[in-house]
Amino acid sequence: MIVLQGVSKIYPGGIKALDNVDISIPEREFAFLVGPSGAGKSTFIKLLIRDEIATSGRVFVNHQDVGRLKKKQIPYFRRKIGVVFQDFKLLPYKTVRENVAFPLQVHGILDWKIIQPRVDAVLDLVGLPDCQDRFPDQLSGGEQQRVAVARALIHTPLILIADEPTGNLDPNTAWEIVQLLIKINSYGTTILMATHNREIVDMLRRRVIHIDHGRIVRDEQEGAYHAA
């Protein structure tokens, strides 16, 4: 679950990216974060993964006060969150298997007897059981994003944050990725997806949080991309 209480973020130079934001996303929810470029979506996400710290207000993720985490606690905090990006952020010189296994290795799990079954399971879940030995550049965009989702899920996070996950994909592929996220949500993972993809938002009728100029201008259950 995600809670923001009176959160503002002002960057050096006085740019106000978020302005007194209050929001609560309960466990198991699937929420879209929409709004024009520069509205504050990226800042919102950066605050959740402690890439930035709120100038004022408090951010809670998984019941932890994110702004008050000590530097040493940050890695352990992040291990409970999965993140997917528009540009996939896969390591080009690692195979699919190695990319997906990477978070586990980073967490200190080095025994492939433990890693391999989990890699098999998540790649099965994202629908890519047969390309573990391929490199990212041998895959299509949609396949690469599936690998990225698999990597974000391998450590069974409570929350999956997707920042424009369909931004680089054609409509059909985008739709497949969203279907995948819905499936993951149905297993109990809270999902927050920032997007510009109007069709997907309108089709799914999930919660829509609309940000503009750093403020929440609309927050609707079963919402559409634009206000009705």
Partner 1 sequence: MAAFSVTTTGVMLLMLGAFLVVIASLNVTLRALETKIDVVAYIKDSADPAQVDNLRDSLSQNADVASVRYVSKAEALARMRQTLGDKAQLLAQVQGNPLPASLEVQLKFATSAPAIAEQLQRQASIEEVDYKRDVVERLLAITGFLRLAGSLIVAGLAAIALFIMMNTTRIAMYARRPEIEIMKLVGATDWFVRWPFIFEGMFLGLLGGVVTVAVIALGYQPMLERVSALLTFLPLAFDPTFLPRLLALLLGAGALIGAAGSYISVRKFLDA
Q: Give the interface segment with partner 1, choosing from 56-64, 71-79, 116-124, 131-139 (CB under 8 A).
A: 71-79
Nearest to 56 by CA among 4, 12, 108: 4
> Judged by CB under 8 A, does residue 76 bind partner 1?
yes
Chain residues 155-184 in contact with partner 1, contact rule CB under 8 A: 155
Beta bridge pairs of residue 16: 10
* x-marked contacts with partner 1 along 24-63 as a string, rule CB under 8 A: -------------------------x--------------
Which tokens hold the place of 16? 């106000």
> Judged by CB under 8 A, does residue 72 bind partner 1?
yes
Cβ 80 to partner 1, closest distance in Å? 8
> Judged by CB under 8 A, does residue 103 bind partner 1?
yes
Distance of CA 155 to CAs 8, 84, 179, Å?
31, 13, 21
Instruction: Give the H/E segment covering residue 2.
Output: strand 2-11
Q: Give the interface segment with partner 1, choosing from 5-13, 104-112, 120-128, 213-221 (CB under 8 A).
A: 104-112
> Judged by CB under 8 A, does residue 151 bind partner 1?
yes
Which tokens hold the place of 189? 């993972």
> Judged by CB under 8 A, does residue 89 bind partner 1?
yes
Q: How far apart are CA 67 and CA 65, in angstroms?
A: 6
For partner 1, how many residues bind (rule: CB under 8 A)?
18
The Cα angle at residue 52 between residues 51 and 56, in degrees rounded to 5: 150
> Judged by CB under 8 A, does residue 135 bind partner 1?
no
* Spatial contact of 160 and 128, defined as CB atoms under 8 Å apart: no
List the one residue from 41, 78, 97, 146 that touches partner 1 (CB under 8 A): 78
- Length of the chain counted residue by residue: 228
214: buried, middle or exposed (CB in 10 Å: 19+, 13-18, 0-12)? buried
In terms of CB distance, is 63 or 228 closer to partner 1? Answer: 63
In terms of CB distance, is 135 or 175 closer to partner 1? Answer: 135
Which positions touch partner 1 (CB under 8 A)?
49, 71-72, 75-79, 83, 89, 91, 102-103, 106-108, 151, 155
